[in-house]
Structure 1
Amino acid sequence: MGIRHLRALLEISKAGSFQAAAERMGLTHSAVSMQMKALEEELQTELFDRSRRPPDLNPTGLRLLEKAQEIINLYDSLAEAGSNQDDLSGLLRLGAIPSATTSFLPEALARLGQKHPRLQIRLESGLSTELTRELLQGKFDCIIITQAQRLDDALKPTLLREERLVVIAQKNKANEKIAKTKDGDITLLDHLPFVRFNHLTGVGRIIEHHLRTRGANLREIMELDSLEAIQRMVAKGLGAAIIPESSLTENSDLLVRPFGSPPVTRKVSLVEKHRGQRPDLTRALAEILKDALVTNP
């Protein structure tokens, strides 16, 4: 049994079929099938239900997945054993929410690469809930998420930033007049169609909670994943929205008012396992992130 057999097993689980996994790995369908057949022969058990098309992992295969991920994690961390704090090496698997990848994260990763040129970063973007689940499953070494609720006891957060949420609307005299009134933020949202940021995201859940608390009467017309798209829709007069303040682009057509008094905030945290495979790498990333946020908030 080689590490490539276990990687192929994980790819099949992620991709959903032998063919899709083969395409992702740059192999032929028959090569992947032969790897799985060899793995089954060595383990002397079937890992797939081949009565279904495409074949699905059976209960034995599903149990093997977790062990396979642990073995791959250890294998990928071998390079780290020979590195020191001033010259880190190895692979850091990082998950991050989209708003981080379009704001402070590129600068931080560039600095990390300059400081530790032998360090490799594998980055994937996703929602906070998905990233947290995949961190617990061993897919990532650490994640950057909106910390919207209590974390699993196995996880350790490091706060990176706490930022205000703001209500945005098209800048015009009518909206400016509404915004100046008492509870002008909610009045704007009640007055205009609501362009919602994906309610499944961490910040989306925070927004939803505070809207319910304040009894907002909304006419929802859109739900989007892109903060940039939301701002462009709002700037064209299509409605009002709530977004993190750090996500604001330079747009003179937007009216911006804090959401709530005192303003509602969201916490963006770097999260890892208490017993993670790469504490030196995650510590180095946390230090770079904090420094990047101080110099470029």
Structure 2
Amino acid sequence: METRRLHLLVELSRLGSMRAVAEATGTTTSTVSQQIAVLAREMGTDLIEPHGRRVRLTPAGRRLAEHAVTILSAVEAAHLDLAPGAEPNGTLRIAGFASAIRAHLLPLVAELATSHPRLHLLVREHEPAEALALLASDETDLALTYDYNLAPATFDPAVRATALWTTPWSLGVPAAAADGAGTAAEVFARFRGHDWIVNSRNTADDTAIRTLASMAGFTPRITHRADNLDLVQGMITAGLGVGLLPAGIPTFPDVRLVPLTAPDVLLRAYAVARHGRLNWPSLALLIDLLTERSRQPAVPDGPEGPGEPDGPGELPVG
């Protein structure tokens, strides 16, 4: 059984069409079809079946795809284990959200440059969905992602998510409307008539806001989206609405942070990597360093939260 055929089956399970698999793997649709057919003969059972103009995996195909994830991870781990030299080296690709890169990854760069000069970090700024997509397509080795406790993420079985740090979030409102405290639902209820501002590149805060609004008995009117929390504060100052902001960040003169409790709103950060690469010395080292750093006392991160002024970019480091 060739691992290349197993890889095509896993990609078919993930992408849902022969054409998409061919485009992702740089081959042709007929080649993908032929290789899946050979794999079916080797297994002695049908792995795909017609589904309209397309195909879908049979129950046996889905089961084999699940096994294939484990098999391919084991093969990948074996390659890494047999790589010459256990000292961390080579290029390690990281995709993550802006504040994780700025506050937690970049401070490690100088340390790694001294302790492991042969290790080269390639950093790309992306929101969680974007970073996880890069991880699935093997365009990055480590994804730094986040979710909210009120909007928990679901991770693919092919990856392992290591919990890092948590950050409490508040509701950013105009200074003149910041009077009064209460539970999160009570705070939200006071702003039921306002427009709401959410992230333009991620849906986690959208879900968290809708969840708390439902607890307060209303549906939020989400009208504005921005990826940069400095811009969110500007929108609040201009009277365009209210939105979630990290607790403790410096605020604009006309913006106030109202604490959200009972329930708290927590941003939870993760280091996500594929199972087959967890023993790679370079990756294991960086995850250990990030985990250690996440246990240190938190420092307010500045006006930009998960987003940044610029879109996805690539920054060679080290």
For Structure 1 versus Structure 2, the TM-score category normalised by the shorter chain is 0.5 to 0.7
2:105 to 104, 108, 115: 108
TM-score (norm 2): 0.62
Residue 148 of structure 1 aligns with an amino acid whose one-letter code is: N
Question: What's the offset of the Cα at 1:238?
Answer: 2.2
Tell me if structure 1 keeps the 8 A contact 2:194–2:221: no
Residue 162 of structure 1 aligns with an amino acid whose one-letter code is: T
What's 2:246 paired with?
244
- SS of 1:21's partner is helix
Q: Distance in 2 between matches of 1:63 and 1:265?
A: 38
Question: What's the offset of the Cα at 1:252?
Answer: 4.8
Matched, 1:182 2:168: no
- SS of 1:104's partner is helix
Residue 105 of structure 2 aligns with an amino acid whose one-letter code is: A
What's 1:21 paired with?
21
Instruction: Summarize deviations over 1:236-295 as a string: whole Å, max 9, x none.
Output: 53211113359x7x985861413336994414243779x987256665233332466668
- SS of 1:77's partner is helix
Question: What's the offset of the Cα at 1:197?
Answer: 5.3
Matched, 1:67 2:67: yes
Amino-acid identity (%): 20
Q: Distance in 1 between matches of 2:98 and 2:235?
A: 18
- SS of 1:40's partner is helix
Q: Write 1 or 2 for the structure with the bigger share of helix.
A: 1
Q: Distance in 2 between matches of 1:7 and 1:157?
A: 22
Question: What's the offset of the Cα at 1:76?
Answer: 1.2
Mapping 1:283-294, distance limit 5 Å = 283-290=284-291
Tell me if structure 2 keeps the 8 A contact 1:163–1:244: yes
Structure 1 window deviating more from structure 2 (31-40 vs 222-231): it is 222-231
Q: Distance in 2 between matches of 1:63 and 1:220?
A: 43
TM-score (norm 1): 0.66
Cα 1:158–1:147 shift into 2, 3 Å = farther
Tell me if structure 1 keeps the 8 A contact 2:247–2:259: no
Tell me if structure 1 keeps the 8 A contact 2:271–2:287: no
Matched, 1:165 2:162: no
What's 1:172 paired with?
none
Q: Distance in 2 between matches of 1:156 and 1:33?
A: 31
- SS of 1:257's partner is strand
Q: Distance in 1 between matches of 2:122 and 2:59?
A: 34
What's 1:146 paired with?
147
- SS of 1:103's partner is helix
Residue 101 of structure 2 aligns with an amino acid whose one-letter code is: L
What's 2:197 paired with?
195
What's 2:307 paired with?
none
- SS of 1:55's partner is strand
- 5+ long unaligned stretches in structure 1: 170-174
What's 2:119 paired with?
117
Q: Distance in 1 between matches of 2:148 and 2:180?
A: 30
- SS of 1:243's partner is strand
RMSD (Å), alpha carbons: 4.9
Q: Distance in 2 between matches of 1:212 and 1:52?
A: 39
Question: What's the offset of the Cα at 1:202?
Answer: 5.1
Cα 1:50–1:103 shift into 2, 3 Å = same
Residue 165 of structure 1 aligns with an amino acid whose one-letter code is: W
Residue 55 of structure 1 aligns with an amino acid whose one-letter code is: V
Q: Distance in 2 between matches of 1:122 and 1:8?
A: 27
Tell me if structure 1 keeps the 8 A contact 2:198–2:243: yes
Residue 29 of structure 1 aligns with an amino acid whose one-letter code is: T
Q: Distance in 1 between matches of 2:60 and 2:161?
A: 33
